[in-house]
Structure 1
């Protein structure tokens, strides 16, 4: 496993003032040091990526269902502090077409993106492909689409909506899988900082038009919530480690090449989320 030196990241909900949160970021670096920052919740958004009601891979569906309740508790706390919650169930936003949360994203005034939007297409939305000028290849081989089940599941599109265990506040939240809509929404709310969570880290969390690559290219101050994510990785593929070690490797890749990470316990005050069948470290 690749070894990195890290900036240590922690996030506390004890505010410096009533409207501020203190963060100290963890990110791979050749010159590690602590880097404290202050975020205003009212300038912060949290994106929930592709937490669908069903997935073609049974194992992926099971892990999403396990992760959704603690993610919902995390989001409730963020929302209560004034963080904008954006639900991004790609290709399923029409399910919410008549809701106020969907209209919040659709009706935000049009703005010019901070940098060009990707026009490539993949899996029903625009897609930001790997950038060889700033990142190496991913440390896992997901070329077989990453199903880790004993027998590979048949690929199809069973998702229709976001998983119901993640609540949507129709008055406060927004729903979108469109990068331009998020640019509009972030400008309207004067968003400077973004937390992103959901699935799958090696695919959609990185590549969607609201994902890490596009957010970083737009100059957003981005962090990945690293305990509230999962990968599509099959342990029978390179580098032949268990599924959860594969996820850890992708987290390291993101910390090295794209953005820092945090864990949900630093908001909730309880333990960080851990999948029930993840090996003990």
Structure 2
């Protein structure tokens, strides 16, 4: 028992030390605003915002180890290495990292990172959290009072492979490429656990990354809609995401153009976006097959 208490004390001390080394970060955000001169049309607006790193969390959504759609799985694997670099730098700057591999958190049962989420003191959210359920977790459906329909048709579940593949739960954990710091990070796919963590660590700002933007990054209980609804300052890291979009469906553009359309949907109706440049100081990530 003394050993366990000592280990927990060391983890807490390390977290406090990491927060103490945090410093302000300046991020360049992009939003879509209605044009004052072109009725019904939007234009991109860029701003610079400064956040305290110690009051900022990075939430990684559904970067699973596999997927029923092979092309989706390949893009996750391609993005995972640069994403891990972003996460490590964010952690070093003092940001709090939450890994959210939905429906697979039992894989991490008993680990310090999982226990950190479970054991965070209960707090009452400013608004009720969604109790609807989809795909193994609670779910925040599109808000018809806030947003229009998505600009892409994902009714076929969005796999862009030439061959059709059966939909199945192919994932068992987060992809191993993305490292979890057991002394500092947390693991959860639960909205209340996530909120409890944000309260405990005095988090005001949230950076969302992961997949898939048109589905889980928007809809999961740790995703954009939920984080905005509970009053956090939210941004999407737009070069660290992907969509489930099949170019054979409306609006019949290539996969990456479809993703860009969903990013702009988020920028119009939910939150600004940033790129990984805000953390790395380097060029944004681009998928190798994205020729745009």
2:244 and 2:29 mapped to 1: Cα distance?
Answer: 26
Could you say if the C-alpha distance between residues 219 and 154 of structure 1 is closer, same or farther in structure 2, counting changes exceeding 3 Å? same
1:228 and 1:33 mapped to 2: Cα distance?
Answer: 20
Q: What are the within-5 Å matches in structure 2 for residues 260-271 of structure 1?
A: 260-271=272-283
Whether 1:180 aligns to 2:192 is yes
Q: 2:80 aligns with which of 45, 65, 68?
A: 68
SS at match of 2:241: strand
Q: Structure 1: where are the runs of 5+ without partners?
A: 1-16
TM-score (norm: length of structure 1):
0.92
Structure 1 moving runs of 4+ over 6 Å: none
Whether 1:22 aligns to 2:26 is yes
SS at match of 2:210: strand
1:252 and 1:33 mapped to 2: Cα distance?
Answer: 11
Whether 1:52 aligns to 2:64 is yes
1:170 and 1:127 mapped to 2: Cα distance?
Answer: 27
Q: Which residue of 1 aligns with 2:183?
A: 171
Size of the aligned set, in residue pairs, is 264
Tell me by how many angstroms 1:36 deviates: 3.2
Whether 1:104 aligns to 2:108 is no
Q: Which residue of 2 aligns with 1:4?
A: none
Q: Which residue of 2 aligns with 1:205?
A: 217
Q: Structure 2: where are the runs of 5+ without partners?
A: 1-20, 36-43
Whether 1:140 aligns to 2:152 is yes
Whether 1:190 aligns to 2:202 is yes
Could you say if the C-alpha distance between residues 201 and 33 of structure 1 is closer, same or farther in structure 2, counting changes exceeding 3 Å? closer
Is the radius of gyration larger for structure 1 or structure 2?
Answer: 2
Q: Which residue of 2 aligns with 1:246?
A: 258
SS at match of 1:222: strand
Conserved 8 A contact 2:190-2:222: yes
Q: What root-mean-square deviation, in Å, do the aligned CA atoms of Structure 1 and Structure 2 show? A: 1.3
Tell me by how many angstroms 1:152 deviates: 1.6
Cα deviations across residues 166-215 of structure 1 (Å, max 9, x unaligned)?
Answer: 00000000000000001100000000000000000000000000110011
SS at match of 2:33: coil
Q: Which residue of 1 aligns with 2:102?
A: 90
SS at match of 2:116: helix
Larger relative helix fraction = 2
SS at match of 2:197: helix
1:34 and 1:272 mapped to 2: Cα distance?
Answer: 16
